[in-house]
Amino acid sequence: MAAIIIRRLLQAIPVLFIIVSLTFVLMHNAPGSPFTTERHIPAPIMAELEKKYHLHGTFAQQYGAYLGDLLHGDLGLSTQYRNRTVNEIIGQALPVSMVLGTLAYAFALLAGTTLGGLAAVRQGRPRDRLIVLAALLGISIPNFVLALLCIRVFAIDLNLLPVAGWGSLDQIVLPAFCLSVPFIASITRLTRGGLLEVLRLDFIRTARAKGLSETAVLFRHALKVAILPVVGYSGPAVAGVLTGSIVVETIFGIPGIGPFFVNSVLNRDPFMTCGVVLVFGLFLILCNLATDILYFVIDRRVNLQ
Amino acid sequence: MNVLRSFYLVVRRDPLLMTCAVFVLVVTTLAIWGVNHTGYDANQISNASLQWPSRAHWFGTDLFGRDLLTRTLYGARFSLLIAAAATAISLGVGVSYGMISGYIGGRVDNLMMRVIEILYALPTLILVIVLVATLEDPATRLLQSMGFRGVQPRVVLLFVFIGLTEWLTMARIIRGQVLVLRQQVYVQSSFALGQSHVKILWRHLLPNLSGIILVYLTLTIPAAMLDESFLSFLGLGVQAPKASWGTLVSEAAGLINPIHSYWWMLLFPGAMMALTLLALNFLGDGLRDAFDPRSSGRQ
């Protein structure tokens, strides 16, 4: 087990190296310099600037300097947010995004399995059909349309919740909900599908024959097996949470990592962009590994290779 | 032709699927043909700024006094075009990758599937953002050297890279099917009769995969459409004055304020998009139940 985890982590290094290098090359060759402003910058100052940000010399020198910094855990200086290091910005923004993403996904798991269960026990009946339709709608409505709709209705027209911002509990409700909707929908569908398959199996009949209550059959026996596809889905879903949070954070004005990332790409901030790509990539790989381990712990038949 | 026929045979049985298919067809027709028949030009600015929906402007007007119905249909063009092109790319890559991997098998298959696993674990849309934002210049030069002058490089970048992110599932499913199919007696016997590999893949395997290809094709279109709208919403997609549903919604987002409610700006493009996606997802689900009953319920 430990050997497999270590091997997977070692495999992650070349993958991360490739995507960071790719990003660096792309940002380096993109038109426009990170220091372009309306004012003309005199050549000596430009040279000093480039030196300060390790952007002087040939491409190989710059790339080498950046890789050297990376190995020391230094993600470089942001060219857009002057005088701030990328480490500092990510250090402040990442926890915000993680709180939002974790809350949203936790809520999605809770709501999704509940709805999926409610639908599966009434297969083909109106309640089931309604939930299936709602889940499909949840997958079909783009995050940002839903977020804008929620702001309009709940924040402006009904004045129930704040429009934007971050810090208080009521400011979390709308963004977390909007972020979670597509995942609620997917998890509902997965749970329902899993339960429908499991509820037909022999061990469920045995459980019922023993005289267990329907709730006990469902929660103690069926759900344990039926939840497996949801666990498998959770790893790749983290990627969706990340991209979804970019939009949600932008709309709700949340100081998470998403808006920083979009701004850094648009403003040709090479180190910030590479840093965020690296962090996202690492995060995703770790989450996928965690999911696989969890999957293995729940279902020993799974091969971790 | 075969594929279209089987599509029709499945859809005919279910009135709900039929409704969805007709809806998608109507939206597509309106996007292609209807834009020129609303009585307005999609980019014509007028003084009638931000007007309520009325008989003259069914969907109201936007900030620059452009007719929103015309804009919405015009946006549908780009959303549908990019989704269709991206899906075609993902179809080409995914099907050939999956078929080769499954047909050759062994070490090559192992390696190719490992690559897919790695790609699954990458923040693909994040990389697409970087690629689209940085590759505009080379794309412009490439397009000009090829003689396309009226084409926005962004549009091309969008469908190429969205296409390249959405093929993974398709490749996996196809590979799984090919693994089963290549053991079938008719494939074995045509090989024994001296049929070349390419011909076996093309003549014998591909027709048997058409059902499953159709299913994932239908499910890839809405996924590509969502990706496009996401990028356009962030300002990385289609550029003004051209529009897609994503840019229309992002224009509405800029106008949300507590004093005035310009609800039609958000409602019409948003609803149009959500309904189209819903119809496509419905079709995809229905087709999957018909062609791939074992996987129904999953995902």
Contact A142/B266, CB-based, under 8 Å? Answer: no
pLDDT tens per residue across span A244-281:
888 899 888 888 888 888 888 888 888 888 999 898 88
Shortest Cα–Cα distance, B234 to chain A (Å): 7
pLDDT for the residue numbered B276: 92
Q: Measure the CA–CA gap between A252 and A151, rounded to whole angstroms.
A: 9
Residue B11 pLDDT greater than 70, yes or no: yes
| Tokens 């209807």 sit on residue | B34
Identify the residue among A265, A267, A295 best suited for mutation to test binding to B, counting B beta carbons within 10 A and taking the highest. Answer: A265
Chain A hits for B126, CB-CB cut-off 8 Å, are 242-243, 261, 276-277, 280
Distance set, CA B1 to CA B105, B201, B218, B232 (Å)? 30, 19, 16, 34
Residue B97 pLDDT greater than 90, yes or no: yes
ipTM exceeds 0.90, yes or no:
no
Minimal Cβ distance to B281: which of A23, A139, A192: A139
Distance set, CA A252 to CA A152, A155, A171, A201, A272 (Å)? 12, 11, 9, 46, 22
> Is residue B297 very low, low, confident or very high in pLDDT (cuts 50, 70, 90)?
very low
What is the number of other CB atoms lying within 10 angstroms of the CB of residue A291?
A: 18
Mean pLDDT of B238-260: 80
Which residues, 6 or more positions from A24, have their beta carbon under 8 angstroms from its beta carbon? Answer: A63, A66, A270, A274
Q: Report yes or no: B251 and B85 within 8 Å, Cβ to Cβ.
A: no
pLDDT tens per residue across span B105-163:
889 998 998 888 888 777 888 888 888 888 888 888 888 888 777 677 888 888 889 99
pLDDT for the residue numbered A115: 94
**Closest residue on chain A to B278 (Cα):** A140
* Interchain CB contacts (distance < 8 Å): A and B: 143
Contact A152/B124, CB-based, under 8 Å? Answer: no
Contact B118/A197, CB-based, under 8 Å? Answer: no
B256 contact A CB<8A: yes
> Is residue B93 very low, low, confident or very high in pLDDT (cuts 50, 70, 90)?
very high
| Of A252, A24, A233, residue with least CA distance to A154 | A252
End-to-end C-alpha distance for chain B, whole angstroms: 29
Shortest Cα–Cα distance, B100 to chain A (Å): 23
pLDDT for the residue numbered A8: 83
B248 contact A CB<8A: no
Residue numbers of chain A with a pLDDT score lower than 70: 36-39, 300-305
> Is residue B299 very low, low, confident or very high in pLDDT (cuts 50, 70, 90)?
very low
Minimal Cβ distance to A251: which of B120, B136, B253: B253
Shortest Cα–Cα distance, A263 to chain B (Å): 10
The CA angle B24-B229-A30, to the nearest 5 degrees, is 140
**Closest residue on chain B to A280 (Cα):** B123
Q: Measure the CA–CA gap between A112 and A126, rounded to whole angstroms.
A: 18
pLDDT for the residue numbered B23: 92
Chain A hits for B285, CB-CB cut-off 8 Å, are 136
Mean pLDDT of B255-279: 83
Q: Measure the CA–CA gap between A12 and A268, rounded to whole angstroms.
A: 26
Mean pLDDT of B73-78: 88
**Domains of chain B and CATH, by start:** 2-40+58-296 (1.10.3720.10)
Residue B183 pLDDT greater than 50, yes or no: yes
Q: Report yes or no: A81 and A90 within 8 Å, Cβ to Cβ.
A: no
